[in-house]
Structure 1
Amino acid sequence: MKPELFQILAISLGLGLLVGLQRQHEKSELAGIRTFPLITLFGTLSALLANEFGGWVIAAALLSMAGLVVMGNVMKSKEPPFSPGLTTEAAALLMFTVGAYLVLGETTVAVAVGATTAVLLHLKDTLHRFVARIGGKDLKAIMQFVVISLVILPILPNDTYGPYDVLNPHNIWLMVVLIVGISLLGYFAYKIFGQKAGTVLGGILGGLISSTATTVSYARRTKNADSSTSLAALVIFIASVVSVVRIIIEVSVVATETVPVVVPPLAALFLLMLLLAGGMYFFKGSGHDKMPEQGNPAQLKTALVFGLIYAVVILATAFAKDYFGSKGLYIVAVISGLTDVDAITLSTSRLMRIGNVELQNGWRVILVAALSNLLFKGVLVAVLGDRKVFFKVATLFGIVLAGGLAILWLWPNDPKFFSDLF
């Protein structure tokens, strides 16, 4: 007798109990805490028999399972009120296949599918509320992201073109998908929490969607005498803190192997900004702010514009490096960071990954772009906002700029420096 056989049966029983517990809690009439473990064990034993007698055993067992589900529904229909929902029926058939896959496939995959099934069943009310809050504009955002990520991306050629042989349509659009995905995540978080999102959450969501757009929105609102300049300044600053987190995420995704060298100085800037944000939150006083209405970040036009900006930044980076060396990259970083720090972050990360830019130069280029973007947002607040909010934002941004410059000049070039300290 193989010990792993009992392990498979135990996992099958456990997954069935997990889903059955949830169905029993929801008072399902078709299957509950006892039936679902029997279903998964039935699938597991059918797969074990199939190893001996052939795949027809699983096919016959699945047909039998489907027949039992149909019979159960026929019996339910004779006892009004009858609910024609198919959730439990679908879960029963799925858990049968999960039980079979425990034998025929990867245990980890089967466990993940079984656990996910239980979670999906448990989140019924939450998912229904989320769908109820989705309007036509939100559904359009989802469909546009599907077009961007699953329709356009697969058909783009994965070859390089143009000057310096650096323009790869597939890679460029992959970066578009990454940025739009991050922004869309923040957008739907906003849809869940709505305009009731507090000051801190408003800044976090604003930074995920667009820190520049958040800066413009809140700066304009301070022209209204009823709007709190302290709260607006805090939201603007928190959005900028989150934009640094976005940079770290982008580097980690695009150039994972560079993280030990590139992320620490960026994390140091983030910690400085986090401390400032914490201090400002402590002294902001009472009151809450509402988030302004957020636009759809998955518009095809927006994606095309970012893709174009990213392609231009890639070309400019290659040109600057060829003609001016590493110093030319900083010029591109300053100019690109004024409008879109994501593009220069992604392009520099790519160059570091393929070895065209040294890591010590790469993180400095990204940091320069982040500081340039911070300076640009400060100018926006000065032009669009109240004097009081500008003074508060300028003070915070000034400290961050000074800290960023100190990191640029004083950060050790030896990546082993910190490991040697401990």
Structure 2
Amino acid sequence: MTQTLGIAGAAAALGIGMLVGLERERHKGEGEHRAFAGLRTYSITGLLGYVTQQVGGALLLGLIALCLAVLVSTAYWKRQDKDPGITSEVALLTVLVLGALCAASPALATAIGVVMAGLLVYRQKLHDFARSQLTDAEMRDGLLLLVVALVVLPLAPDRFIGPYEAVNPRTICTLTVMLMAVGAVGHVAERILGPRYGYAIGAIASGFASSTVTIAAMGHRALKEPDHLRTLAAAAILSNLATMTQAALILGAVEPALLRQLAWPLLAGLAATALYALGVMLRARTAPTGQPVQVGGAFDLKLALIMVLTLTGIGVVSSVMLYHFGQMGVIVSATLAGFADAHASTASIAALASSGQLTLVAASTPVLLAISCNALSKCLVAWVTGGRRFAAYVIPGQLLLTGAMWLGTVAA
């Protein structure tokens, strides 16, 4: 068994060196301007790291790494006027360390080696993306998301606090990161696909911020572009996919058991919405040429803060209603809050189920009521913002979503 592991580790070390070496060899050049290392150097370095770790452990590996660093520094100094970059030098030292890691964890070392090779292969595209495509606002928002996900979230305490034990800081931070990340995915998809499918993709992406606002935006545009009425109505209906998906993500993050309880109603609502929107879109005569509609940016700090305050406030109200009026109080508060925002009600009810204050069966009805009331409130928004013709396409979709979701409870 030990011999088998040893062979696997050596093979992994050699494979990592050859993989990175092949990429470097293709860009090594020829003559006096060629780079200092290629296929053979990287392959040998990977094996060197593995053998060094096996023979002398960490101490010998450190000495070998120091010697290699001296050689790499010398090579860099000799050709710094031709190539000021240090990518090849750093990659060679990384291959040495990954070769040593193969002695303990070949799978992890191989995975890291593949990722490193990918970064080397797509260096030009990454450079173009960073310099030409990535805007300052997107860079700022991306850093914000990383700070919240990697710094704030791990430090948030994972326990219920407050007089009614209605607030869990870790859950709130998790939901905030999740909403920002999902919005980012929609933003990236919209950037990649371009304006041809802008309305549909933009509506789904914007729906994660606010499906109601998205429907209002589509209604206003429908008044200005009546020739694209059906396409805009279909996009407005598609924004409900974001509402249903976001509700599922919230339930899964806060109380997975409640998500399993409501899986069939949510799936039924998603299917009905997608099929109806597709039918409306296929009947559209012309494709719109305008830019996609967006509600806010891909990463919106203001939206995140509003969501945190909304989740906290409705969670406290639901907990108070449960404490003083029982399950009927939760149903009433979820119904009223659902007219404005279904996600906050869903999160607060899931939090009550997670803390044990509500059973899964008792929590299911308020969640469905919140989503249903939110869907019905969008009918009024569609009528007011887009007029009778726009509402004639949107309202049946909203009613179909609500009916399919409640019929899904039969299968559950």
TM-score by length of 2: 0.87
Counterpart of 2:14 in structure 1 is 13
Contact 2:257 2:360 in 1 (8 A): no
DSSP-derived class of the 2:178 partner: helix
1:297-376 correspondence runs (5 A):
298-376=299-377
**Equivalent residues, number:** 404
Q: Deviations over 1:53-88 (max 9, x none)?
A: xx221111111222232233234347xxx1212222
Distance between the aligned counterparts of 1:257 and 1:11, measured in 2?
Answer: 41
Distance 1:348 1:19, change over 3 A: farther
How far apart are residue 9 of structure 1 and its match? 0.9
1:182-193 correspondence runs (5 A):
182-193=182-193
Identity %: 24
How far apart are residue 401 of structure 1 and its match? 2.1
Contact 1:47 1:100 in 2 (8 A): yes
Contact 2:19 2:117 in 1 (8 A): yes
DSSP-derived class of the 1:385 partner: helix
Distance between the aligned counterparts of 1:126 and 1:204, measured in 2?
Answer: 27
Distance 1:219 1:33, change over 3 A: farther
Contact 1:144 1:299 in 2 (8 A): no
Counterpart of 2:51 in structure 1 is 45
1:229-308 correspondence runs (5 A):
229-289=229-289, 290-296=291-297, 298-308=299-309
Contact 1:262 1:359 in 2 (8 A): no
Contact 1:186 1:209 in 2 (8 A): no
How far apart are residue 233 of structure 1 and its match? 0.9
Counterpart of 2:96 in structure 1 is 96
DSSP-derived class of the 2:297 partner: coil
Distance between the aligned counterparts of 2:22 and 2:358, measured in 1?
Answer: 55
Distance between the aligned counterparts of 1:195 and 1:261, measured in 2?
Answer: 38
Q: Are 1:62 and 2:53 an aligned pair?
A: no
DSSP-derived class of the 1:34 partner: helix
Amino acid of the structure 2 residue aligned with 1:107: P
Contact 2:264 2:411 in 1 (8 A): no
Q: Deviations over 1:365-420 (max 9, x none)?
A: 22222222222222222111143221111121122222233335x345xxxxxxxx
Amino acid of the structure 2 residue aligned with 1:186: G
Distance between the aligned counterparts of 2:257 and 2:19, measured in 1?
Answer: 39
Deviates more, 1:335-344 or 1:388-397: 335-344
DSSP-derived class of the 1:222 partner: helix
Distance 1:263 1:122, change over 3 A: farther
How far apart are residue 119 of structure 1 and its match? 2.1
Distance between the aligned counterparts of 2:217 and 2:127, measured in 1?
Answer: 31
Contact 1:317 1:332 in 2 (8 A): yes
Counterpart of 2:214 in structure 1 is 214
Counterpart of 2:405 in structure 1 is 404
Distance 1:87 1:215, change over 3 A: farther
DSSP-derived class of the 2:224 partner: coil
Distance 1:314 1:209, change over 3 A: closer
Contact 2:190 2:198 in 1 (8 A): no
Contact 1:166 1:315 in 2 (8 A): yes
DSSP-derived class of the 1:228 partner: helix
Distance between the aligned counterparts of 1:200 and 1:293, measured in 2?
Answer: 11
Distance 1:63 1:240, change over 3 A: same
Q: Deviations over 1:157-204 (max 9, x none)?
A: 555443312223343333222222322332344344454544443333
Structure 2 unaligned spans of 5+? 30-34
Counterpart of 2:113 in structure 1 is 114
Amino acid of the structure 1 residue aligned with 2:165: D
Structure 1 unaligned spans of 5+? 413-422
Counterpart of 2:386 in structure 1 is 385
Distance 1:294 1:266, change over 3 A: closer
DSSP-derived class of the 2:339 partner: helix
Distance 1:320 1:15, change over 3 A: same
Contact 1:161 1:167 in 2 (8 A): yes
How far apart are residue 207 of structure 1 and its match? 3.1
